[in-house]
Structure 1
Amino acid sequence: MTAREQAHRDGVALIARRLVERDEQATDDRPDPEVWAAAVLTELAGFGWRPTAARTTTWQPRPGHQPADPQTARAYAAGIRARLRPSGHDNEES
C-alpha cells in the first residue's frame, strides 16, 4: 500500500470515527454541522492533510491520430452497450 493510499484510509477512518461519536451524542448535545466539519478538517490538517487546487488536464491526440468516422464510433458504442446490458436482456433490440 502506498503512503497516499494509507493516508486516504486513515482519513476515512478518522471521519467515520468522528461521525459515530457525533451520532452517539444526544441530539441537543451535537455541535452545529459547520463547527463539527471545521473541527474534523482541523484534525485532518494535524495529520498532514492539506487542501490542494484540482488540476485540470486537457486531452491531446497523439500526432497523426485520426478521429474515428461516425460509423465506426456507432459500432463501438453498440458493442459497449451490449456489454453493459444486464443479464436476461441479451436478445433484446434497442
Structure 2
Amino acid sequence: MNAAAQRRAIDDAVAALAHRLRQRDQLAAQERPDAHAFALEFVTAMHGHGWRPTNAQRNPWVSKPIRDHSDAAARGAALARQLLEHGPASISDDEEEHQ
C-alpha cells in the first residue's frame, strides 16, 4: 500500500467512525450502547472489511537526522539562559559568529 492509498484508507476509517458516533449520539441516553460495546462493534466491522492488525514498523518515508544536533541545542540553551540572566549585552563576540 502506497502513502496515498494509506491516507485514503485512514480517511475512510475516520469518516466511518464519525458517522457511527453521530448515529450513536442521536440515540436517547438510555438507548446508547456503552463505550466498550460500541468500540467492539466498530472494530469487528472494520475487521469484516479487511482491516488486520500488523506489526508496526517505522515509516520508511520519515527522514533520519543527518547528524547529531545536541551540541547546537546545548549552546542555544546556554545562550538563552545567559540572555535571561544578564541581558543581550552579555553575549560574547565569538557566540555571535555562530548565529
Q: TM class by shorter-chain length?
A: 0.5 to 0.7
Shift of 1:77: 5.2
Aligned to 2:90: none
What stretches of structure 2 of length at least 5 have no aligned partner? 60-64, 86-99
Q: Percent identity?
A: 36
Aligned to 1:93: 84
Cα deviation, 1:29-61, whole Å, max 9, x if unaligned, reads 01121111111001111222211232369xxx9
Aligned to 2:20: 18
Shift of 1:9: 0.3
CA distance in 2 between counterparts of 1:6 and 1:68 reads: 35
CA distance in 2 between counterparts of 1:43 and 1:76 reads: 51
Shift of 1:68: 6.0
CA distance in 2 between counterparts of 1:37 and 1:69 reads: 43
What secondary structure does 2:51 align onto?
Answer: coil
Aligned to 2:8: 6
Aligned to 2:43: 41
**Equivalent residue letter for 1:93:** L
Select which of 52, 55, 72 maps to 1:53: 55
What stretches of structure 1 of length at least 5 have no aligned partner? 82-91
- Bigger mean CA deviation after superposition, 6-15 or 31-40: 31-40
Report the CA distance shift for 1:73/1:15 in structure 2 as closer, same or farther (over 3 A): same
The structure with the greater share of residues assigned to helix is 2
What secondary structure does 1:28 align onto?
Answer: helix
Aligned to 2:97: none
* More RCO (CA 8 Å, sep 6+): 1
